[in-house]
Structure 1
Amino acid sequence: MALTPEQLERQSRHILLKEIGGPGVQKLAAARVSIVGAGALGGPCAMYLAAAGVGEIELWDADTVDRSNLQRQVQFTEVDTGHLKVDRLAERLNASAPDCGIIRQARRWSEADALSGDVLIDGTDNFETRFALNRVAHASGRPLVSGAATRWSGQVSVFASGVETGQPCYQCFVPEAPPMAEACEDVGVVGPVTGIVASHMALEAMKIITGAGRPLMGQVLILDGLSGVSRAVKLRQDTDCPVCSA
């Protein structure tokens, strides 16, 4: 697809990169991404992807902006409190990237809901939805970019069991919901850690779309905000996994 002069100017720094270049920018413009969760992970991730020239972003979130969100959900401001997250985030995305088509889904995503994206992004904070997204990604042959953050730590991975034979899925990594799962509203989370994780999620999505580098498939990147250290841990497919080994 031909890019407009405005798009060429906006993406000039990406065009300079040999791993992206003009062909990569065109791939981004033709890409469709579905982001479930428009909060601390999904929101900043969407901002980077829209700025990168992704052609269509589908946003799923039923929540409204709360003042307690503002410490980490930097896509929102005080005047956004009480308004639907998908509406305010869509306005923010269109202001910075008017060519990006935004699909607003102001409701909680369920497994029965079709997702329009070629790449799925999990920005949620509950295991029920994470497991459901993993099942949909595997069954439909789409990559799933997953991120999580709590306290001072975060993690990012790409699950591609439905794309590449032998790759683990999310349920290989987390077989079942931990009995004492921690939510940030209960234990807290450092704002910049969610931003780091969200940026990594956007980076992984861009790599998948453009073919640059190698995405974090079969690995989970673990970030420790207190020590400033990150490490990648290899993941293997669980031969007894009910999702990807059936």
Structure 2
Amino acid sequence: MESRIHPTAIIAPGAQLASDVQVGPYSLVGPNVSIESGTVVGPHCVIDGHTRIGKNNQFYRFCSVGGMPQDKKYGGEPTRLEIGDGNMVREYVTINTGTVQDVGVTRVGNDNWIMAYVHIAHDCQVANHTIIANNVQLAGHIHIDDWAIIGGSSAVHQFVRIGAHSMIGGTSSIRQDIPPYVIGAGDPFRPVGINSEGLGRRGYTPEVVSALKEAYKMLYRRKLSTQQATEQMRSLQQTTPAAHDAIQVLLDFLEASSRGIARA
């Protein structure tokens, strides 16, 4: 392990690093950190807090991971950060631990691409295969589902949920929930359609994509209430069985939304 850790790096007693973990010059790893096999920590990184990091992650130079939450209610509780496998974390990214006011843990899943200057605040729950572009700012308690894409310099309000396969254009301001599959941009965010290109790349058939476009029209184009739109989506599930599960993802999201969905 010593041959993979630069002489200027500081690894605190108590830190648990797999034998092949690499740590670059002038980086610091705190006493309550565990890092699994294949992970690379670049130069000038700080990884501290009660932080667990999985396999084959790469932390580029100047990352700050596992710092205490930027929440004035935080009283030093041993809240946590959990990061999965195969994530790319670029320059100056900050990811904070959770708070006892929520679940007490910030989570980042697997195979996420997190670009430079991104901030992931306390209690965020980032799923898998997401792309979070340069300078995106995530406030506390945000949930981001699988395959979501957030364009550069966008800001997301606390407690917002961003649905699976959605795509948010750059410099957007997100104050309400973004349903699954929806694409759009703006300040405030304005939905414009379904992420059909992304869905096609991920194996969704033309029949399913067509049904999701119809569901989008029910939600956004026909001047229906959310309740009326969901009732029509359930009918669509019956007439298009191939799209049943994909539409159910949308229905479950709408049912769970507490902030309401972006409609500007």
TM-score above 0.5: no
Scaled by the length of structure 1, the TM-score of the pair is 0.24
Which protein is bigger by CA-based radius of gyration? Answer: 2
Structure with bigger strand share is: 2
Structure with bigger helix share is: 1
Greater relative contact order (Cα 8 A, min sep 6): structure 1 or 2? 1
